[in-house]
Homo-oligomer: A and B are copies of this chain.
């Protein structure tokens, strides 16, 4: 008879701890949730028993009665691996502090069943809260569902900021800043690639670009503004069109880094020196921005910090509706420069 009964496959329960330590179940429960009214003596005996029995409270039982699962979810539809990775990392950083887990829930914003899918997520997991990235962060039916079901949620970069807690950067100001940077370099003709129309940030960045030009006394030329969809191919296509113009731009500002990489590729294939013959600017400061050649001048969007703050809004005890703006930063690298030749 080698070892005692505790060694069986069955996990110890709170009852076992109670028996082993000689106190009541309620007292065990108190120390488990470190509530106040417990004598030091009782507490230490309970702790000893817990350790001795290797007791771990059952998550299922706890959430059944406590109405909490210590789990939140991230509903995300961004096609950029960088964005998703950074967002998740930030959320994890915050979740770790509270021993909360994160369910990664991708969604397709074009799905006809988006609502059912999110409701199913709520029902089958009992999550304590949800973080919503664009474009679902602007879907009224989704917000309505969450409110109706009483699920706390935080939106990332929504178009308005009043309906819930939210985290965001000032996309308008960021695009404005980048455009001024290009203008200061002496560029007269600046091409712009708009982001995917489903994302509110696309319009903000576009507006910031136009505002900077207008403020500088320029009239935005519609031929220099092309629609993209945040992916590499659309950036490349826009660049082809822009560079085929009779009067091509000397700089191209793409609404994200992946499209900017597409622009760079086209420039290389055409033998255009960057930034000698063409300056290229991105947006986001994905890891990608540093991996391409030349390294991209871009706007640093602190995605990881956005994730951290979003989770904090969900988990902080003072869970009032609040919005937090995170600062962006213009990162000058080697893809932009002055106009060298006409």
The reply to whether A103 and B101 contact each other, CB–CB distance below 8 Å, is yes
The reply to whether B291 and A293 contact each other, CB–CB distance below 8 Å, is no
Stretch binding the partner chain, chosen from A62-70, A155-163, A168-176, A179-187: A62-70
Stretch binding the partner chain, chosen from A37-45, A82-90, A237-245: A82-90
Stretch binding the partner chain, chosen from A15-23, A120-128, A204-212: A120-128
Q: How far is the CA of A1 from the CA of B85 in the complex (A)?
A: 50
The reply to whether A59 and B125 contact each other, CB–CB distance below 8 Å, is yes
Tell whether A341 is near chain B: CB-to-CB under 8 Å. Answer: no
Which residue from B84, B101, B106, B265 sits with its C-beta under 8 Å from A124?
Answer: B101
Q: A15 → chain B, closest Cβ, in Å?
A: 15
Tell whether A92 is near chain B: CB-to-CB under 8 Å. Answer: yes
Copies of this chain, count = 2
Query: Which B residues are in CB contact (< 8 Å) with A64?
Result: 58, 60-61, 64
Query: Which B residues are in CB contact (< 8 Å) with A63?
Result: 60
The reply to whether B293 and A292 contact each other, CB–CB distance below 8 Å, is yes
Which residue from B89, B104, B264, B288 sits with its C-beta under 8 Å from A102?
Answer: B104
Query: Which B residues are in CB contact (< 8 Å) with A58?
Result: 64, 126
CB-CB under 8 A for A104 and B88, given A81-B82, A292-B292: yes
Tell whether A294 is near chain B: CB-to-CB under 8 Å. Answer: yes
Tell whether A342 is near chain B: CB-to-CB under 8 Å. Answer: no
The size class of the interface chain A forms with chain B is 35 or more
Q: A278 → chain B, closest Cβ, in Å?
A: 13
Query: Which B residues are in CB contact (< 8 Å) with A69?
Result: 59-60
The reply to whether B71 and A125 contact each other, CB–CB distance below 8 Å, is yes
The reply to whether B288 and A291 contact each other, CB–CB distance below 8 Å, is yes
The reply to whether B106 and A121 contact each other, CB–CB distance below 8 Å, is no
Tell whether A223 is near chain B: CB-to-CB under 8 Å. Answer: no
Query: Which B residues are in CB contact (< 8 Å) with A265?
Result: 291, 293, 295
Give 1 or 0 for each of A308-335: 1 = CB within 8 Å of chain B CB: 0000000000000000000000000000
The reply to whether B60 and A290 contact each other, CB–CB distance below 8 Å, is no
Q: A180 → chain B, closest Cβ, in Å?
A: 27
Tell whether A261 is near chain B: CB-to-CB under 8 Å. Answer: yes
Q: A166 → chain B, closest Cβ, in Å?
A: 23
Q: A174 → chain B, closest Cβ, in Å?
A: 22
| Residues of A214-241 contacting chain B, CB below 8 A | 232
Q: How far is the CA of A264 from the CA of B292 in the complex (A)?
A: 9
CB-CB under 8 A for A81 and B86, given A60-B64, A291-B292, A293-B268: yes
Query: Which B residues are in CB contact (< 8 Å) with A85?
Result: 81, 84-85
Query: Which B residues are in CB contact (< 8 Å) with A258?
Result: 291
CB-CB under 8 A for A9 and B150, given A70-B124, A126-B60, A292-B292: yes
Question: In the complex, given contacts A71-B103, A232-B291, A291-B291, what are 14 additional A-B residue pairs having Cβ atoms less than 8 angstroms apart?
Answer: A58-B64, A81-B84, A81-B86, A85-B85, A88-B106, A92-B104, A92-B106, A101-B121, A102-B104, A104-B104, A262-B291, A265-B291, A268-B294, A291-B292
